Amino acid sequence: MLLKTILNTVEKHKSFVYSDARWSKQMPDREIEFDVQPRKNAKPICSGCGRKRPGYDRLVSRRFEFVPLWAIPVFLVYALRRVNCPQCGIIVERVPWASGKNQQTNSYRMFLATWAKRISWQEVATVFGTSWDSVFRAVRWVVEWGIAHQDLTNITSIGIDEIQYRRGHKYLTLVYQLDEGAKRLLYVARDRTEASLNGFFNILSESTIDGIQFACTDMLPAYLKVLKARASQALNILDRFHIMKKFGEAIDKVRAEEARQMKEDGYEELLKNSRWCLLKRRENLTKKQTVKLRELLKYNLRSVKAHLMREDFNRFWPCPLAIRARPEHGPASFCVSGVCERTVRRSNR
């Protein structure tokens, strides 16, 4: 089988033909080149307006890097035509295997970007004998293509989260679609400000925004504010981790204040070494902490009360009534009844 046959199978463009493969003259590097010629009577396409236009002249041959074969670099060699376009003037033609002035073929960029999903960009560059920069450009091209062709309709559930990158307080805002069968990253923005999240809503149509029923977030005020302003119909679901973290912080604050007060008032320092036995879930306590907690429960301390409230609230999560929460029940972050409502009200104090 000829190499040309293989190329025609994987990369066929109907207005162009390949000549046989040959070794590149650019020795000593071993490289394969294919000459590309336009098919007779096939008019070039204007890169400005995308229409077929009469040819004007031809530029000198250029090499477009293709996917390597047996670890041997492969190039398509083609002399671009210029067209005489009544609309765009004398302008270079558009070719189907590459875009713009890029010297990598689209197939090669797809190839690099696919590997870049699995191993580091530097590794990809090293393994395929190219630069980090060209891997970066390949990934950017694929991502831009993806964004341009993204379908942003029929989104009913979103998740908004921030992640820290690099050291220091550098954050990104990430928005995911969380629908059954359609879980994907939709949007990335710098920082975790109102502007970051507003950027996401700006790319959506009004009807898509209206269709959002659930938004899962942490308790970042900037996110909550934007959600209220842009998608107030969505039920805001606060995740368990962040809520329980707030409980932990509150318990810690109450305990520290109370311990200081007791010391000032000259009482026995009951709360000494009690931090973890109040903060940890009961099932995670060590034997020593369990004894300490049992001891503390005998006293009417604010810290103990705070701890009990948290334990009480924990019953919210497995409650079947909570699962039935729906947007039509109102704009509240929690739609609860029965046991849960009592728990929430009491803990709010």
Where along the sequence are the contacts to Zn ion (CB under 5 A)?
A: 46, 48-49, 85, 87-88
SS3 346: helix
Q: Which of 310, 302, 216, 298 is nearest to 256 (CA)?
A: 302
Closest to Zn ion by CB, 48 or 55: 48
d(CA 280, CA 274): 10
The answer to whether the CB of 293 falls within 8 A of the CB of 311 is: no
Residues 6+ apart with CB under 8 A from 269: 259, 262, 263
Closest to Zn ion by CB, 48 or 327: 48
User: Least separation, in Å, of the C-beta of 48 and Zn ion?
Assistant: 4
User: Least separation, in Å, of the C-beta of 51 and Zn ion?
Assistant: 6
Closest to Zn ion by CB, 11 or 93: 93
User: Least separation, in Å, of the C-beta of 55 and Zn ion?
Assistant: 13
User: Least separation, in Å, of the C-beta of 106 and Zn ion?
Assistant: 21
Closest to Zn ion by CB, 48 or 248: 48
Closest to Zn ion by CB, 52 or 62: 52
The answer to whether the CB of 165 falls within 8 A of the CB of 172 is: yes
Q: Which of 238, 163, 158 is nearest to 204 (CA)?
A: 158
The answer to whether the CB of 40 falls within 8 A of the CB of 64 is: no
d(CA 235, CA 274): 38
Closest to Zn ion by CB, 88 or 344: 88
User: Least separation, in Å, of the C-beta of 184 and Zn ion?
Assistant: 36
Closest to Zn ion by CB, 48 or 211: 48
d(CA 186, CA 43): 40
User: Least separation, in Å, of the C-beta of 43 and Zn ion?
Assistant: 12
Q: What is the DSSP string of 104-121?
A: B-HHHHHHHHHHHTTS-H
Return the number of other C-beta atoms located less than 10 Å from residue 165's C-beta: 9
Would you give the end-to-end CA distance of the chain in angstroms? 80
User: Least separation, in Å, of the C-beta of 86 and Zn ion?
Assistant: 8
List, in sequence order, the alpha helices (H) in 265-317: 275-279, 287-296, 302-313
Closest to Zn ion by CB, 46 or 336: 46
User: Least separation, in Å, of the C-beta of 73 and Zn ion?
Assistant: 33
